[in-house]
Structure 1
Amino acid sequence: MLAEISIQNLGVIPSASAELSSGLTVLTGETGAGKTMVVTGLRLLTGGRADASRVRSGAAEAVVEGAFSTVGLGEGARERVAQLAAGAGAEEDENGEYVVTRSVKATGRSKAHLGGRTVPAATLAEVTEPLLTIHGQNDQLRLMSPDQQLAALDRFDPEIQAVLAGYREVYTEWRRAARELKERTERKLELAQEVDRLRFAIEEIDAVAPAEGEEEELVAAVNRLQDVDALREAAAGALAAIDGSEAAGALGGLSGSEEAAASTLVGQAADGLAGSSDPSLKDLGARLREVSAVLGDVSVELGGYLEALPSDPGELDRLLQRQQELKTLTRKYAPDVAGVIAWRAKAGKRLGKIDTSDGAVEKLKKRVAELEGELAARAGRLSAAREAAAEALGAAVTDELHGLAMPKARLEVHVERAAYSRDGADAVEIRLAPNTAMEAKPLSTSASGGELSRVMLALEVILSGLAGGATLVFDEVDAGVGGRAAVEIGRRLARLAANNQVIVVTHLPQVAAYADTHLHVSKNVGDEAVTSGVRSLSEAERVEELARMLAGLDDSDTGRAHAAELLSRAQREVAELRG
């Protein structure tokens, strides 16, 4: 339900807002007052196309904001709205409503916000689709589309939706298997060549057997081998200075120096100070003992380092060869070794899926045939459900049309077999006959504008009456209608509003009299600009407005009396309907 709407700088409306309640709300006003801009604002909230020409002259941008509540929606629709909103990062406000904002700059750029988050306009269309539906002149034309007519029939019977869901599962599997069979039969030679290429590549990679992180380890090892002589000389020289040339020579280091070892000299100095009677010298001796211990630790580590240095002269060549093998793989399959490993895994999976043997093809043919049989059975059940629903829908809409001043009209819903598609194997066409004696013909050739409006209203009364909780907007659905038909349209809109929020833009007092809430769009023509505002009318003001709509009789006592009688009678009917 749409709880509130505010409009700024849209067309002739500089600023207007209205709180909307459940039931039937009508918008009336003189021609050019801005009623169309209210509907335009609603279309913007539902993700409609942003038109910069709709921005009020002199304004930088137009802004429309609406607050939507999911209270009253069916559980499935409510969950769908919640999931879509959560996916967009939107949150409900403190009233449990989703605030939708759409702004259109005079330069043509537009922005959409849902629950405080910026979203694409297409997301607004998805989220508001279960919440608000607009029926206008262009929407009537969409009713002529075969897809829309099929969707209308499927909405009529919930059982169709369950059958359709099962059909779509099989259809998806059948399409996948059929595509795979076509690929295997038409591309058999090409697939065989692909198998050869994949096997060669996998064998080449497996022969090298690259390991993740190996590249970095090889670079470090090669660098060490290339500098091994200098590294050995530095480590051995340090070890010789600490422990003497004999210790360094035993580990493959340098030899030849006859100087005393640092460890020996430090030990002698420590011993010499240890026997001193002077505490200061004793303390220095203790510190030299610590130095001697550190030298011992360094000596052990230097020895280990020298032992670890490679001594095989062919090791460097082996590592360089390994680097070359890895570079061959990274040139052909991926920029680095990790990428080569990932490519190999993907190639293995692909190879496992390709089976060009005759046995595999025959197995797949059998699977496709089985799925075709299952698909045909499910399509048959779907067609049967639609045919039964078509007869019931045609009868129900025909009854509604009889009450909408089309007493002899007959609406028929025809279901014919068609090619398999995601929506089944049916083509649906809605046909209309002006009387029982004449043949029913497609809506596109048999219905006038006024008749098409009534057919659409009758369909919506039947279809929306099944679910409830949505907001339905009718933009002059009563165009080309008057007299008794107008009264009947008002009654049906009131009946539809028993379970839905209905918003109607109308010029007929017979329709406006049935409203629970009457909003008036007024126009003020100044010397430099035209402005419009929207306000809710009191009962007395409603009588004045209805009198104006009755051929401009608002300044006549007779006109006001007629309007008061019309309002009173309509409201009694509404009370009986709701009671």
Structure 2
Amino acid sequence: MLIELSIKNFAIIEDLTIPFEKGLTVLTGETGAGKSIIIDAISLLVGGRGSSEFVRHGANRSEIQGLFFIEDQTHYIYSKAQQLGIEINEDQMVILQRDITAQGKTICRINGKLVTLAILREIGQTLVDIHGQHEHQHLMQVDRHLSLLDQFADEKINNAIMEYKEIYKTFVSLTNQVKQFSENEQQLAHRLDLLQYQLNEIEKANLTPGEDNTLYEERLKLSNGEKLYKMIFDSYHSLYGDGKGLDWVMLAMNNVEEAASIDKELTSLKETVDNCYYLLEEASYSLRDYYESIEFDPNRLNFIESRLNEILQLKRKYGESVSEILEYASKIEEEIDSLLHREEKIEKLESQLESIIQDLFIEAKNLTQLRREAAIDLTEQISRQLKDLYMEKTKFHIQFTDRTATDKDPMIDGKNIYFNEDGIDKIEFLLSTNPGEPLKPLAKIASGGEISRIMLALKSIFSTQHGVTSLIFDEVDTGVSGRVAQAIAEKIYNVSTKSQVLCITHLPQVAAMANTHLYISKEQSDDKTVTKVASLQEKEQIEEVARMLSGVKTTDLTRENAKELLSQANKKKFILKS
């Protein structure tokens, strides 16, 4: 759960620290006070899209920190942290931090360790699930319905999806290869001519692996022949000759030998000096042989320069080294062979593709069966949730249809089948809001309030199935009132018994169900607009709920109504807990 949130220089928030508790925390206040800004900050903290526009005017950067307590040792974050080398101490605390500079740069940290935005998002999404008004639009988009069903099925379907996608990748690859080899003759002829020219150019060069490195070394030696001769010649004559190095070493050797005849303890030292002398003598002979063998061959140097230039031209076209050029030659040789034997290649690919299509269809049908089973379960659960939300006469149905195929798609049992990366299923949520009316697409007949309740029903179901530690509802109660508002309040509270819930609301019924009530206000200070947060006690909560009931002016009557609403909420919470 989220323990504490710290926000600095973010939008109209200058410096704000908010502690959070278990259960349901509601955030209320006047429009524009900064309630949604706090949710925006949490969204950025868990990897949402950022911008320099979030940085408070006049500040260099915005800083957002969140302290999370992760009690469940099996939570995904523990294995991911170990993989990334992020330490989570015995206190089971995790600190997410995100800074956004005035130039738009983002800096992300987890427990003090710098991470990428992608990693922050991957981990953040396992900690917080933010449900705002925009998610209603997701429910209205038919292409989102399949992902919602798969999200519900979760572990029951994950392996089947992975197996299908693995085969689908092979299917796409083979399909593209068949298409490539089935292109028109003119394009293939041009391609074949180009490849043969490239292969001839490389073969004509008669390259050998590592040749360029060998030539670079020889060029260095030849171009520095005179300098090399002088250095080796001087080295030899420093060792060999009257009064030179070897003479002095021989003198030392003779003296140590005579001393060793007197003191046997010097025997090992004598042998060391002897060895050094003979090694130096042998080295001097090698130096003499080397400098006597040095020859300056300008023709050879010219040849090397010409050869290296030839290799350089090939590198510019085919690879950064001779090895890469040879690898490229081998690759295009295979392609040339494929083009020359195109018919046989197409026949082989089509045979492989036919086999893969059969496997893909089997996996797709298995995926469809699992989705249909999950759809029955989801429909039953949503129906129960909707009943609690005073939509008991509403019928919810998940319709399965085949995706639209063309004659270019694979044919199985005399029927064209359209495969995509999610399978062959196209699903749509259907709704009938009144008895006797036919089921129709949800997106066409559901009102704003109905959409809110359906999405809340989904969240209520998903909250029991996933490891998200905190749920955030940003004005999900839009478009409802009366007993429906009370039902939504109870549903949100019920979710909070399983996960921490933060909720921005304008409904007094929801506010009354809170375990913690935070009031967000906006004040003017030194020509600055500042957002403040206050945790309301009993009397203050009554005043705020009364304000929400009246909408304009708080009266004794609205205060009495607020007290009654809070009293009923406490009784309801007791019943729901038990």
Give the 3-state SS of the residue equivalent to 1:422 in structure 2: coil
Distance in 1 between the 2:198 and 2:489 partners? 71
Distance in 1 between the 2:78 and 2:572 partners? 37
Give the 3-state SS of the residue equivalent to 2:182 in structure 1: helix
Q: Does the aligned pair in 2 maintain the 1:5–1:17 contact within 8 Å?
A: yes
Q: Does the aligned pair in 2 maintain the 1:553–1:559 contact within 8 Å?
A: no
- The change in CA–CA distance for 1:205 and 1:129 in structure 2 (over 3 A counts) is farther
Note the aligned Cα RMSD (angstroms).
Answer: 4.2
Q: Which amino acid aligns with 1:413?
A: I
TM-score (norm 1): 0.78
Distance in 1 between the 2:66 and 2:139 partners? 27
Q: Does the aligned pair in 2 maintain the 1:386–1:415 contact within 8 Å?
A: no
Distance in 2 between the 1:330 and 1:568 partners? 86
Alignment of 1:269-348 (within 5 A): 303-309=285-291, 317=299, 321=303, 324-333=306-315, 339-348=321-330
- The change in CA–CA distance for 1:84 and 1:349 in structure 2 (over 3 A counts) is farther
- The change in CA–CA distance for 1:322 and 1:6 in structure 2 (over 3 A counts) is closer
Distance in 2 between the 1:125 and 1:295 partners? 70
Match 1:98 to one of 87, 90, 94: 94
- The change in CA–CA distance for 1:227 and 1:51 in structure 2 (over 3 A counts) is closer
Percent identical: 30
2:29 aligned with 1:26:
no
Distance in 1 between the 2:203 and 2:305 partners? 18
Distance in 1 between the 2:366 and 2:96 partners? 41
Range 52-61 or range 340-349, more displaced? 52-61
- The change in CA–CA distance for 1:71 and 1:423 in structure 2 (over 3 A counts) is farther
Alignment correspondent of 1:289: none
Deviations 1:205-235 (A, max 9, x none): 5555654641243125424766899899989
Give the 3-state SS of the residue equivalent to 1:50 in structure 2: coil
| Offset at residue 448 of structure 1 (A) | 2.1
Alignment correspondent of 2:164: 167
Alignment correspondent of 1:379: 364
Q: Does the aligned pair in 2 maintain the 1:330–1:336 contact within 8 Å?
A: no
Alignment correspondent of 2:521: 522
| Offset at residue 421 of structure 1 (A) | 1.5
- The change in CA–CA distance for 1:197 and 1:82 in structure 2 (over 3 A counts) is farther
Alignment correspondent of 1:283: none
Deviations 1:167-199 (A, max 9, x none): 111101111222223223336545644653564
Alignment correspondent of 1:490: 489
Q: Does the aligned pair in 1 maintain the 2:225–2:295 contact within 8 Å?
A: no
Distance in 2 between the 1:316 and 1:310 partners? 18
Larger Cα-atom Rg: 1
Distance in 2 between the 1:229 and 1:126 partners? 64
Deviations 1:320-362 (A, max 9, x none): 5455434422332269998112332354356457651343332
- The change in CA–CA distance for 1:317 and 1:436 in structure 2 (over 3 A counts) is same
Alignment correspondent of 1:436: 435
Distance in 2 between the 1:340 and 1:468 partners? 53
| Offset at residue 501 of structure 1 (A) | 1.7
- The change in CA–CA distance for 1:91 and 1:147 in structure 2 (over 3 A counts) is farther
Alignment correspondent of 2:349: 364
2:399 aligned with 1:400:
no
Distance in 2 between the 1:58 and 1:311 partners? 76
| Offset at residue 551 of structure 1 (A) | 1.9
- The change in CA–CA distance for 1:336 and 1:44 in structure 2 (over 3 A counts) is closer
Match 1:184 to one of 163, 172, 181: 181
Distance in 2 between the 1:126 and 1:117 partners? 15
- The change in CA–CA distance for 1:178 and 1:112 in structure 2 (over 3 A counts) is same
Give the 3-state SS of the residue equivalent to 1:396 in structure 2: helix
Range 213-222 or range 189-198, more displaced? 189-198
Alignment of 1:422-461 (within 5 A): 422-461=421-460
Distance in 2 between the 1:295 and 1:163 partners? 77
Alignment correspondent of 1:155: 151
| Runs of 5+ consecutive residues of structure 1 not aligned to the other structure | 244-260, 268-292
| Offset at residue 366 of structure 1 (A) | 0.9
The number of residue pairs the alignment matches comes to: 536
Q: Does the aligned pair in 1 maintain the 2:24–2:493 contact within 8 Å?
A: yes
Q: Which amino acid aligns with 2:134?
A: N
Deviations 1:126-166 (A, max 9, x none): 33122212222222112222332211111122322222111
Range 220-229 or range 516-525, more displaced? 220-229
Range 461-470 or range 228-237, more displaced? 228-237
Q: Does the aligned pair in 2 maintain the 1:22–1:501 contact within 8 Å?
A: yes
2:129 aligned with 1:133:
yes
Q: Which amino acid aligns with 2:444?
A: T
Q: Which amino acid aligns with 1:99?
A: I
Q: Does the aligned pair in 2 maintain the 1:415–1:427 contact within 8 Å?
A: yes
Alignment correspondent of 1:2: 2
Alignment correspondent of 2:196: 196
Q: Does the aligned pair in 1 maintain the 2:314–2:325 contact within 8 Å?
A: no
- The change in CA–CA distance for 1:199 and 1:522 in structure 2 (over 3 A counts) is closer
Q: Which amino acid aligns with 1:420?
A: F
| Offset at residue 445 of structure 1 (A) | 2.2
Range 313-322 or range 131-140, more displaced? 313-322
| Offset at residue 303 of structure 1 (A) | 4.7
Distance in 2 between the 1:503 and 1:236 partners? 86
Distance in 1 between the 2:561 and 2:159 partners? 51
Distance in 2 between the 1:541 and 1:427 partners? 51
Distance in 1 between the 2:220 and 2:237 partners? 23
| Offset at residue 369 of structure 1 (A) | 0.9
Q: Which amino acid aligns with 2:327?
A: A
Alignment correspondent of 2:270: none
Alignment correspondent of 2:262: none
Alignment correspondent of 1:537: 536
Alignment correspondent of 2:396: 411
- The change in CA–CA distance for 1:295 and 1:486 in structure 2 (over 3 A counts) is closer
TM-score (norm 2): 0.78
Give the 3-state SS of the residue equivalent to 1:333 in structure 2: helix
Alignment correspondent of 2:253: none
| Runs of 5+ consecutive residues of structure 2 not aligned to the other structure | 251-274, 404-417
Q: Does the aligned pair in 2 maintain the 1:25–1:515 contact within 8 Å?
A: yes
Distance in 1 between the 2:320 and 2:117 partners? 41
Deviations 1:475-520 (A, max 9, x none): 1111121111111111111221222221111121211222222222
Distance in 2 between the 1:235 and 1:101 partners? 65
Range 495-504 or range 210-219, more displaced? 210-219
Give the 3-state SS of the residue equivalent to 2:95 in structure 1: strand
Q: Does the aligned pair in 2 maintain the 1:198–1:351 contact within 8 Å?
A: no
2:463 aligned with 1:464:
yes
Distance in 1 between the 2:224 and 2:54 partners? 74
Distance in 1 between the 2:530 and 2:394 partners? 44
Distance in 2 between the 1:454 and 1:262 partners? 99
